[in-house]
Structure 1
Amino acid sequence: MPLINRSSMSIYWRIFTPDDRTRAFGIAPAYEGTIAAGCQAGIGYSASRFQLEIRDRPPLSVIPPSRILVPAGPPGIVGELYRSSDMLEYLGGSELRLTTHEVVDVPGFLPSTHGFRFANSFPANTAHVSVRVGSVDMAIGDAANGLCGGMVYAVRDHFHAGMPIPAHKAGPVSGVLYEYLVGRLYDSFDGLGWTEYLRLMSPGCSAGERARTAYFTALPSIESDIRNGAPSPIGLVQVNTDDPFKVGNNHQVLVYGFERNGRRVRLRIYDPNHPGRDDITLDFDTSVTPPVFSYNVPPGGDGRIYSFFCHRYQQRQPPPADQIPPWIDFPFPNPLAEGANDIIVANGWLGLLRIERVFGNRFNGTIYGQRMEGEWNPATRAIRFTRFLGPGYEQLYTGVLELDPETRNLTGRLSGSFQEIHGDVIGQASYDWRAAPRLLVDGNGWQTELRLHRLDGDGSVAGEMYGDAVDGRWDHAAQRLHLTRRSADANYAQEWTGRRTDGLTFAGDFQEIVRGVRQPRQYRWMAFDRR
């Protein structure tokens, strides 16, 4: 590294290894010297990374006493680290100007190619996730809070194994792929992971310690991984609390490139919360304490990043592709088409919204078995219909046809609120409702659609799933759904039971029945109205 003396006086320099605790005589005579005003010298050593100290004369000069101009850091504390590829200019006083511009990426890696296609988002009440610390199980929350660590580890697993990432466009909720992601989440918390989150998120952790962890422990490890062609998993500390149950409010991402420009650093990030994006970066200046981290997508937790650290990744072979059920694209059906049987939940009551006739923008049919008619506006996607319950008693439903916020395409879902009308008086109370022409089902990882053709007042249910007929019963009091799937093989059936957990989301287990005998093994299933 060239060190240029831009000042008007001679300077004495020496360099130290980062773990040198004496700061007494430098490393060796070859790593110290004098530079006259306006001159320069090449400094550095084989380990590449070092600390620099500049004095106004050699330290053994006692008349007048030697004065430190640029300190290397107090004993036992790592100061500013430099590399042989940097250029330093001493400008006088205590001012140094560092010039470094280096860009290094993992060859061939891009989030849009190697990251998961789905976001780190799962329906509420997807199997609960926890980690064990000593003899205590600490809950991260259900998978609706995310499986970011598992996704990050799995992406690196697939990249190292040379295996394409599964093509799923929505996160699995059961089966081989889901269990693999949960297992890798557990792995990411082994060893350093859990304790580092607790240490760095604690208000008792100083800004200096958070900076040192990020700048002088994590950053060299990240750079080493990337120079060796490996994406580097890191934990982003996003909360400032001693509450261990909020560890799930932190986040894990995968660094696949870095750029240095002087003390400014930019990390290129695969963030499982934002699939397909190659433009996510984390920027910071290693001379700034307290550290200031600029993330170009909204961070979770407290809305800021306090520090980051490296996870101790160990490679694991992903499950074979033939063990993972294939992804199936189900087109979004039109919920206002003639003959549509939309599953609706209004004020907690499950039923069917049937569309019998469509006249331009107007339609009629039944809801909960009672007459209904209404209209919708294609320009605003607003929907309005009236349920006729009896003389002088109606319900007015208003809402919208929902759009996907990213693709701006219709999702096939309807949602809104309704009010009761007695006589000509509209009640003040308002109740939520939502409807969809089908539910998406994930049964042990195998996906399909559940369409209901009948849901009677007594709870009797009939429909189709996996191309087979299903029938059963809905128990409103217990919020439980029981379905029997009947296949073409008279000796084989499946019994599905579950409960409504939220809106139009259901979760439970199913068992196989072979020749009339219920098999002991249970498989998890979920049904929901969104991808």
Structure 2
Amino acid sequence: MAVEIQNESPVPLVWDRDQMDSGDWTDPWYPSRAATITPGATAEWRAEGDLFVGPTTGTEGRVWYNIGGDPGRQLYVHFNSPLVESQYGNTFHVWAPPGFEAAYNGGQGHHARLRIRLRETSRRQVRGFTPSVNGFQFSNSWSPDLPAMAVGFLWNRLLDELGGEAAGALGIARVDDGWLPITQASAGMCGGMTFAAMDYFAAGKLPPAETSSPTSDADPLFQFIRDRLLDSFDISGSGHRWLGYSSPHYPNGDEGFIQVAGLARGRAWVTCRDEWPRIRDDIDAGRLSPLGLIQTDSLDIGRNHQVLAYAYQQSGQVVQLWVYDNNYPGRDDLYLQFDITDTTGGVDITRFGSYQPGEPRIFCIFRSDGYNPHTPPGGRQLSVRQVMERVTGRKFGRLPDDIGLPRPASLRGWLSSV
């Protein structure tokens, strides 16, 4: 196991102590060798299991660094690469104090490299995306008279992908294909609206300005959102998670749950260890991240929801994740908050902002797979100001010449000078 630490904070990391629980440090790659990691620098240390002809143990250890030399503010790294991997693979706990963000990736396999990045806490956002501007102006509320796919059809296709053994262990059975039309007002088309909003953003356009959802099945926008709804469930990929994570037999924490292929980690682990890093990486790369919210543990998958993550802030172990929620058009203050410290029990995901009371509990968050951009119908062109904000990542209340910047004859010339 190699561990690489990149210090992107403005203060040095000073080695405090280390502990080897299983195996040995690899000579000469001791943590104490990287006694000080200066701002902007990267350091590495390594560990390996015990050997006797062949490997006899895995390797597990812990390292503490004082941030800025202050023992009251520590970066803690715990790694465990067992000889025989469990359903969790290699496991890690990387913690930083409030005011700092510790992120990591990699580290799987028997010859693994874990990469850790330490930064000061800051809100990080996809350039140019604001829900009140780039989201639909109407809410996720639809006429029950519109023809559409039914939940029963979707359920049975997801069940086919889940497989019979896993479905049996989780108490999931087939239903009638026509059960529960998705476009009933009580069910909504949140996944289609989420993917469609991503499509308009990818095309450099704004969604149509209508403030009411389409009421005709001949409306091109309705047809597009309906088709994207089916796409959002990723039926032939990992969409079976909608069923698996919604089962009353699926565990919230790490211990005592049914071991089934592909469904071997509790909802808290899925949220904090598997999916949150994927969402964070999307936003860091400037990509919107579509989310599935599991809001039931009774297989009532119509209660689940899909939203779009576009910004986050992590302070210590507390994550704040800003979302475009199509149930609340025009709202820029909506975010989800959860603590990633511990996964032994259920994860506590709390809504903040102008959410209304009575929203259902969120049992689990996962990143939706299967998104590929499609060409949306219609749409509005971005204004010059919106183009500039998307390209530069800066907010402009007025045109460039009004904020004291030279204004070349063309927008291209001005953008190249920024």
State whether TM-score is above 0.5.
yes
Aligned partner of 1:33 among 21, 31, 34? 31
Name the counterpart of 1:411. none
How far apart are 1:315 and its partner, in Å? 2.2
* 1:290 to 2:330 alignment: no
1:166 Cα deviation from its structure 2 partner: 1.0
Aligned to 1:12: 18
Mapped contact 1:234–1:309 kept (Cα < 8 A): yes
Q: 1:171 aligns with which of 208, 213, 230?
A: 213
User: Alpha-carbon deviation of 1:110?
Assistant: 0.3
CA drift of 1:204 comes to 2.0
C-alpha distance after superposition, 1:46-70 (max 9, x if no partner): 8xxxx993279xxxxxxxxxxxx97
Number of aligned residue pairs: 280
SS in 2 for 1:207: coil
CA contact (8 A) 1:12 1:54 kept: yes
What is the one-letter code of the residue matched to 1:156?
M
- Aligned counterparts of 1:307 and 1:138: Cα–Cα separation in 2: 27
Q: Does 1:126 align with 2:146?
A: yes
Report the secondary structure of 2:32's partner residue. Answer: strand
CA contact (8 A) 1:268 1:282 kept: yes
* Secondary structure of 2:122 counterpart: strand
Match in the other structure for 1:141 = 181
Contact kept? 1:250, 1:300, Cα under 8 Å: no
Per residue, is there more strand in 1 or in 2? Answer: 1
Match of 2:92 among 79, 94, 103: 79
Separation in 2, partners of 1:184, 1:278: 24
1:217 aligns with 2:274: yes
Q: Which runs of 5+ in 1 are unaligned?
A: 15-21, 57-68, 89-97, 323-531
Partner Cα separation in structure 1 for residue 375 and residue 29 of structure 2: 48
CA contact 1:299–1:305 (8 Å) conserved in 2? no
Task: Summarize the alignment of residues 254-265 of structure 1 with structure 2, pairs less than 5 Å apart.
Answer: 254-265=308-319
1:55–1:149 distance in 2 versus 1, CA, 3 Å: closer
Write the distance in 1 (CA, Å) between the matches of 2:182 and 2:346: 33
Deviations 1:261-281, CA, capped at 9 Å, x for gaps: 111111010000000000000
- Residue in structure 1 matched with residue 249 of structure 2 by the alignment: 204
Q: Distance in 2 between matches of 1:106 and 1:314?
A: 17
In structure 1, the partner of 2:197 is: 155
- Summarize the Cα distance change of 1:55–1:277 in structure 2 as closer, same or farther, 3 Å threshold: closer
Q: Which amino acid aligns with 2:18?
A: Y
Q: Secondary structure at the match of 2:331?
A: coil
Task: State the match for 2:285 in structure 1.
Answer: 228
Question: 217-226 vs 279-288, which deviates more?
Answer: 217-226
Distance 2:28 2:129 in 1: 41
Indicate if the aligned counterparts of 2:309 and 2:321 stay in contact, CA closer than 8 A.
Answer: yes
Q: Does 1:101 align with 2:101?
A: no
1: distance between equivalents of 2:271 and 2:119? 21
What SS does the corresponding residue of 1:284 show, helix, strand or coil?
A: strand
Q: For the structure 1 residues 110 and 310, does the alpha-carbon distance in structure 2 shift closer, same or farther, using more than 3 Å as the test?
A: same
Q: Distance in 2 between matches of 1:70 and 1:311?
A: 29
Q: SS of the counterpart of 2:214?
A: coil
Displacement of 1:74 in angstroms is: 6.9
Deviations 1:151-200 (A, max 9, x none): 00000011011122111111113221111001000001123453111111
SS at 1:201 equivalent: coil
1:261–1:124 CA distance, 2 compared to 1 (3 A):
same
Aligned counterpart, 1:447:
none
2:142 maps to amino acid: F
Correspondence for 2:390? none
Provide the TM-score with structure 1 as the length reference.
0.47
Cα distance in 2 between the residues matched to 1:81 and 1:309: 20
- Please identify which structure carries the higher helix content: 2
Query: 1:474-513 residue pairs with structure 2 within 5 A?
Result: none
Check 1:99–1:283 CA distance in 2 against 1; reply closer, same or farther (3 A cut).
same
User: Which residue of structure 1 aligns with residue 62 of structure 2?
Assistant: 54
> Mapping of 1:381-420 within 5 angstroms?
none
Q: Could you say what secondary structure the match of 1:72 adopts?
A: strand
Aligned residues of 2:193 and 2:228 also touching (Cα < 8 A): yes
- In terms of Rg, which structure is larger? 1
Equivalent of 1:269 in 312, 317, 323: 323
Pair 1:195 & 2:240 matched: yes
Structure 2 counterpart SS, 1:129: coil
Shift, 1:12, TM fit:
2.3
TM-score (norm 2): 0.58
Q: Which runs of 5+ in 2 are unaligned?
A: 1-6, 45-58, 65-75, 104-117, 161-173, 254-265, 380-418
Report the CA distance between 1:23 and its aligned residue.
6.5
Q: Percent identity?
A: 29
Aligned to 1:314: 371
Give the superposed CA RMSD. 3.7
Aligned partners of 2:60 and 2:312: how far apart in 1? 24
Contact 1:12/1:32 (CA < 8 Å) preserved in 2? no
**Distance in 1 between the 2:22 and 2:214 partners?**
55
Distance 2:301 2:198 in 1: 23
CA contact (8 A) 1:267 1:282 kept: yes
Q: Counterpart of 1:183 in 2: which secondary structure?
A: helix
Relative distance call for 1:12 and 1:118 in structure 2 (3 A) is: same
Deviation at 1:4, TM superposition (A): 4.3
Cα deviations across residues 318-376 of structure 1 (Å, max 9, x unaligned)? Answer: 34429xxxxxxxxxxxxxxxxxxxxxxxxxxxxxxxxxxxxxxxxxxxxxxxxxxxxxx
Once residues 23 and 341 of structure 2 are traced to their aligned partners in structure 1, the CA distance between those partners, rounded to angstroms, is 24
Distance 1:168 1:311 in 2: 27
**Aligned structure 1 segments of 4 or more residues deviating by more than 6 angstroms:** none
Q: 1:112 to 1:146 in 2, by over 3 A?
A: same
